[in-house]
Chains A and B, each alone.
Chain A
Amino acid sequence: MKILTRMGDASNVELTPDELRTEFVTGSEAAAVKAKIPTLTENEIDFLVDMFSAPTRLWGVQRGNEVVMTKDGCVNALNSSRMSSGVVAPVNREVGVRLFESMLGFDSMEVSHNDYSVKPQRFLKALEQLHMEILQEVTIFPLLYGFMPNLGLYYRPDGSFENPSDLLPLGKIDEARRTQEEALEACLEDCVEMSDCMVAMGADGIDYDTVASTGDAEFLAVLRTTEHVAKETGLPVEIGMSSEMVLGFHGQLEYNGVRLAGLWPHQQLELCEQAGCAIFGPVCNTNTKKTVPWNLGRALTFVKACTEIAKIPVHPNVGMGVGGVPMFETPAVDVVTRCSAAMIEIGKADGL
């Protein structure tokens, strides 16, 4: 018997039942070895094998196990380009957010600009404030304001700070570290400004997305911003990461005495909790050369290590190219629904 599933690039692949089981087991072991966390149990592997062996197109959680959704990227999927899997629908941000509430029945939504990085959004501060303010008048579900800190935009040629990627190959380690320390302060300032200005607009929270995409300096900027926002304004903060491990572009930065470089999701969670974060979004990137079962087994192992120790809700990212979902701009529902349900039934996620 052959079971039809997909690779991490979304192409079809057929596996025998034994091969399917092996994919889940080895994916889980890959995460466990790296992060020094437990693998999935035999019962959990059995559940996943049954789920993927079923020939049905769709899968779902058991009734009563549904969770809430938080959303990044605002309505980019509606009105943006293929870069955001956007379908270029002729709707503006206000209409799009209302459609997510009424047409898609979303549990919450994020307001953000199409560009989605804090640096350009800062120049549109008044517009951003107005759209949050107006949408709060007409919607019922919680609305967070969101952006990517995207520290990379602060380096040359996009920004004014020397680029550590230019300095490191020249062996200028100290200079590369110094420019990251300077750039993170500028990024932090923008993050704080664009968060604080949403308090009076009635925002229900702030969402920092794709965090640490530029490594440990960016993660530090977000942790310090979160600490400020949580303590000074009381606004809830959601932190969604960019990958399973924090890259050590700097290598020596610490938060509360913990070195940030090389942290895995369950370790990232603990620091986010200390900073005052309300919802944590772990991320595990999809390996396109491996199968979806391998990627899902790996992602679930990271997520389970988080939910077992979490004091706050955990919303793992299950978009295109993360959380076991294939890296393809039109994700296939047969694997998206399975990754979705598995994150809750096995990963014990509080939301997605």
Chain B
Amino acid sequence: MGTGDPAGMHLAHLLASSMGGIRAAGDLVARMQLSKKMRIDDAKKYVADKLHVTPLDLSDPTMMRGLREELDIGTITGVPGIAKGMAAKVRIAELLDIEINSVEQFKKKTGLVAGEKQFH
């Protein structure tokens, strides 16, 4: 993005163009861009197919707020008992069928996966 005070830069881009992160499904689409080098339309389609929604739904905080809680992949508002942090990412990796580096490191540390799986 770039430099600027939070109100003039980050809030402005958030309102004008952003998918909204964990408020909707922006974090999931960003993961597909990073891990699979997918361009935006492909990344949205991939995530939408996995969530059984349309690409339009992915930026809709009304639709995604409930769906994220139902899928237990973390919500932006605090809900007791809903997966947070690492627990949410373990479920996201499974949902999107991707490897998330921190999840792999966590599995190695906790011995949840046998052997010494390397992130690659």
0/1 interface trace, chain A 307-345, chain B, CB 8 Å (1 if under):
000111111011111110100011111001110110110
Q: Does A136 contact B (CB under 8 A)?
A: yes
Which of A166-174, A196-204, A246-254 is near enough to bind chain B?
A196-204
Contact A106 B10 (CB under 8 A): yes
Contact B84 A340 (CB under 8 A): no
Contact A77 B31 (CB under 8 A): no
Q: Which residues of A (51-81) have their CB < 8 Å from a CB of B? A: 58-61, 63-64, 66-73, 76-78
How far is it, in angstroms, between the C-alpha of A240 and the C-alpha of B112 when the chains are bound? 37
Cβ-neighbour of A312 out of B2, B30, B39 (below 8 A): B39
Q: Which residues of B (1-53) have their CB < 8 Å from a CB of A? A: 1-24, 26-27, 29-31, 33-35, 37-40, 43
Q: Which residues of B (85-102) have their CB < 8 Å from a CB of A? A: 85-86, 88-89, 92, 100-102
- Within the complex, what minimum Cβ distance (angstroms) separates B64 from chain A? 11
How far is it, in angstroms, between the C-alpha of A247 and the C-alpha of B19 when the chains are bound? 35
Interface size range of chain B in the complex: 35 or more
Closest to B76 in A: A102
Closest to B24 in A: A105
Contact A204 B102 (CB under 8 A): yes
If A234-B119, A352-B17 touch, does A140 touch B22 (CB 8 Å cutoff)? yes
Contact B22 A105 (CB under 8 A): yes
A87 / chain B contacts, CB cutoff of 8 Å: 5-6
Q: Does A22 contact B (CB under 8 A)?
A: no
How far is it, in angstroms, between the C-alpha of A23 and the C-alpha of B118 when the chains are bound? 53
Contact B16 A350 (CB under 8 A): no
Q: Does A138 contact B (CB under 8 A)?
A: yes
Q: Which residues of A (173-213) have their CB < 8 Å from a CB of B? A: 199-205
B13 / chain A contacts, CB cutoff of 8 Å: 69, 318, 336-337, 340, 352
A18 / chain B contacts, CB cutoff of 8 Å: none
Cβ-neighbour of B17 out of A60, A106, A233, A235 (below 8 A): A60
How far is it, in angstroms, between the C-alpha of A68 and the C-alpha of B24 when the chains are bound? 11
B23 / chain A contacts, CB cutoff of 8 Å: 105
A72 / chain B contacts, CB cutoff of 8 Å: 1-3
If A204-B102, A313-B37, A330-B8 touch, does A319 touch B2 (CB 8 Å cutoff)? yes
Closest to A344 in B: B17
Contact B8 A332 (CB under 8 A): yes
B43 / chain A contacts, CB cutoff of 8 Å: 68, 313, 350
A interface residues with partner B (beta carbon < 8 Å): 58-61, 63-64, 66-73, 76-78, 84-87, 100-102, 104-108, 136-144, 199-205, 233-236, 238, 278-279, 310-315, 317-323, 325, 329-333, 336-338, 340-341, 343-344, 349-352
B interface residues with partner A (beta carbon < 8 Å): 1-24, 26-27, 29-31, 33-35, 37-40, 43, 55-56, 59, 73-74, 76, 84-86, 88-89, 92, 100-106, 119-120
Show 24 A/B contacts (Cβ-Cβ < 8 Å), sorted by A: A61-B17, A66-B59, A68-B40, A71-B1, A73-B2, A85-B3, A85-B5, A104-B21, A106-B26, A107-B19, A107-B29, A108-B21, A136-B105, A140-B27, A140-B89, A200-B105, A202-B104, A202-B105, A312-B37, A319-B4, A330-B5, A331-B4, A336-B16, A340-B12
